[in-house]
């Protein structure tokens, strides 16, 4: 119930609209019971006593009641849907905001599709609970109270017989609600898996087709789809049985009422008007009860969705600003890595790393895959926090400065170029979309991207497609470099920025990288060792530890791990002649 109370608290800013909606719903309940109440005078005064005066005023009252009921029904529907939609929109925004501030570790644990399902499907269930269920609860409950008053007013003995049926309905309603909550939770998990599968196969469609795995992916999708189908049928079955069961219980009550009420009328203890007024109210009474049964199922689905949504909203980000965090000024001296140890869960990736990177220095990190190169540089912008030790900039621990000011000092170009389905201009200006046109063009020229951009259908206003699919690999990477150039950050991280490019594209990108690196403290993760020959220092990482450190020539002369990596990469490729080439980082 705590979850539902929390949802209701979200309506607090809309208290005025909520109060107006409640008044409308109370009026709907009162007018519904008034119609049942009027059955007695209509039947007794008009049809039995043939009272002409009653014939004049009763139809007018009925018209007024229906008009009032319709107007209030419209008002409460509009108001409650406004509140419900507003709450859901705010909740969806809060959920998205909380997902955005989580650390990279969070996204490692939670698949993209599952998170998408939380924002779409789970919030959709909450919408039903907030707008539809709350409305039905208030409107039907007020109607039920008013109708109960009518039946007790007309004949308390008959009312007691009718009320005997209601306790029989409580047990199945409770059992159905419990079962529905379990099914709703399983349904939402399955929807998350289905969304994850969709996201993976659609974004990875090239690989699926390249390996002719369409049928395999069809089978995977079919398994999840069938599971969702079966769960949906179970939910439908529970909803479907609720209404007939209530009708059957209602039929039992009505049959007993007709028998006893008819006996009373026949023996002169009651009038036909009294009996039919009672019977009308009773029939009207079972309708809100049936709807409340279905509302309970909707509420259980909403609570299941809310529990999953609030589990994210309540999650405290692993990476966050300390209470006394300050803004980080630009680097002037050095980046210090002091006895840093780091691990993912129980796996240690880095062990006791000690390193000082001077301002303006170009430092390259090399080693076999899994050695900890990317992990180490990811600690500098606080994508993760160190397990032990500290990372400092100009002697200040990066955990003591704001995350925003820290990352504002760092530009990153990765092997996997991340672009958005937006214009070329907005992709280059990402991070500061109010940059002047001339600055964007200057960055594109420095990145050797301007020439191909102006030849695109709409130039800088060309939409580049999801992940830049309308561009070549080299073009995407040069836009990424232009983005980093425009940011003009003093610290630059290059994570295997050319490893996925062909030789011609690599040459163009290397020229752009030269422009990007000028005057910046640069950390390079290198796959192609020929690209780091001119680095000020090369750090060799093996199993999370610094094995060697020095210049290219020095490390080759040591004939250690770097020399082994270098010879392994070039001995069979006929590219040893590149030792005389002016390689670039």
Give pLDDT tens digits for 490-509.
999 988 766 555 566 667 67
Percent of the chain at pLDDT exceeding 70: 87
- Residue 565 is encoded by which pair of tokens? 């990596």
Q: In what order do the strands lie in the sheet with 545-550?
A: 410-414, 491-495, 521-525, 362-366, 537-542, 545-550
Which of 171-185, 374-388, 438-452 shows the lowest mean pLDDT across its residues?
171-185
Q: In what order do the strands lie in the sheet with 396-397?
A: 347-358, 334-344, 388-393, 396-397
pLDDT of 580 > 50? The answer is: no
pTM (two decimals): 0.71
Residue 186's Cβ-count burial label (10 Å; 0-12, 13-18, 19+) is: middle
CB-CB contact of 170 with 246 (8 Å): no
Q: What is the pLDDT of residue 255?
A: 73
φ/ψ of residue 362, rounded to 5: -105, 115
**Residue entry with tokens 């529905």:** 180
pLDDT of 573 > 70? The answer is: no
Residues in the chain: 585
CATH of the domain spanning 2-313, picked from 1.20.1560.10, 2.40.50.180, 3.40.50.1100, 3.30.70.250: 1.20.1560.10
Give the C-alpha separation, 531 to 562, whole Å.
Answer: 14
Q: Of the segments 243-252, 359-368, 513-522, which one has the largest average pLDDT value?
A: 359-368
**pLDDT tens column, 297-338:** 777 778 888 888 888 888 888 888 999 999 998 888 899 999
CB-CB contact of 35 with 62 (8 Å): yes
Domain spans, the chain: 2-313
Q: How many helices (H) and strands (E) does the chain have?
A: 22, 10
């Amino acid at each position: 119930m705590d979850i539902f109370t929390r949802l209701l608290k979200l309506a607090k800013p809309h208290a005025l609209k909520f109060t107006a909606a409640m008044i409308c719903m109370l009026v709907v309940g009162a007018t519904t019971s008034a119609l049942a109440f009027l059955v007695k005078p209509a039947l007794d005064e008009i049809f039995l006593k043939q009272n002409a005066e009653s014939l004049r005023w009763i139809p007018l009252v009925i018209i007024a009641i229906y008009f009032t009921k319709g107007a209030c029904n419209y008002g409460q529907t509009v108001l409650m849907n406004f509140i419900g939609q507003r709450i859901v929109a705010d909740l969806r925004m809060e959920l998205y905001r909380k997902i955005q501030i989580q650390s990279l570790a969070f996204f490692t644990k939670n698949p993209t599709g599952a998170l998408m399902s939380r924002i779409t499907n789970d919030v959709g269930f909450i919408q039903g609970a907030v707008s539809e269920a709350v409305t039905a609860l208030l409107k039907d409950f007020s109607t039920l109270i008013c109708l109960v008053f009518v039946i007790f007013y007309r004949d308390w003995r008959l009312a007691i017989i009718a009320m005997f049926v209601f306790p029989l309905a409580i047990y199945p309603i409770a059992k159905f609600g419990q079962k529905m909550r379990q099914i709703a939770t399983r349904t939402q998990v399955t929807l998350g898996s289905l969304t994850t599968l969709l996201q993976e196969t659609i974004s990875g469609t090239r690989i699926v087709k390249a390996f002719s795995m369409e049928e395999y992916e069809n089978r995977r999708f079919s398994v999840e789809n069938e599971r969702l189908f079966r769960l949906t049928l179970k939910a439908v079955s529970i909803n479907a049985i609720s209404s007939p069961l209530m009708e059957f219980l209602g039929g039992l009550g009505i049959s007993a009422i007709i028998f006893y009420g008819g006996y009373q009328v026949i023996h002169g203890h009651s009038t036909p008007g009294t009996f039919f007024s009672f019977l009308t109210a009773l029939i009207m009474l079972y309708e809100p009860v049936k709807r409340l049964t279905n509302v309970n199922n909707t509420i259980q689905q909403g609570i299941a969705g809310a529990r999953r949504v609030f589990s994210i909203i309540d999650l405290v980000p692993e990476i966050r600003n300390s209470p006394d965090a300050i803004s980080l000024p630009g680097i002037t001296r050095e980046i210090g890595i002091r006895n840093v140890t780091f691990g993912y869960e129980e796996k240690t990736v880095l062990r006791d790393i000690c390193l000082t990177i001077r301002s303006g220095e170009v430092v390259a990190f090399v080693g076999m895959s899994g050695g900890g190169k990317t992990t180490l540089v990811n600690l500098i912008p606080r994508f993760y926090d160190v397990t032990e030790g500290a990372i400092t900039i100009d002697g200040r621990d990066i955990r003591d400065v704001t995350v925003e000011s820290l990352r504002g000092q760092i530009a990153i170009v990765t092997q996997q170029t991340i672009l958005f389905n937006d214009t070329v201009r907005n992709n280059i200006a990402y991070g500061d979309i109010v940059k002047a046109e001339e600055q964007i063009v200057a960055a594109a020229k420095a990145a050797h991207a301007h020439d191909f951009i102006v030849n695109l259908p709409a130039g800088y206003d060309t939409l580049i497609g999801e992940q830049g699919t309308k561009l070549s690999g080299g073009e995407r990477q040069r836009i990424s470099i232009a983005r980093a150039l425009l940011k003009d950050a003093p610290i630059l991280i290059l994570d295997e920025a050319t490893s996925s490019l062909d030789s011609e594209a690599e040459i163009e990108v290397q020229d752009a990288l030269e422009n990007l690196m000028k005057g910046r403290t640069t950390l390079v993760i290198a796959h192609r060792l020929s690209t780091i020959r001119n680095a000020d220092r090369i750090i060799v990482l093996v199993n999370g530890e610094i094995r060697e450190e020095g210049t290219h020539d020095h490390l080759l002369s040591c004939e250690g791990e770097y020399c082994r990596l270098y010879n392994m990469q070039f001995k069979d490729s006929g590219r040893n002649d590149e030792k005389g080439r002016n390689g670039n980082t």
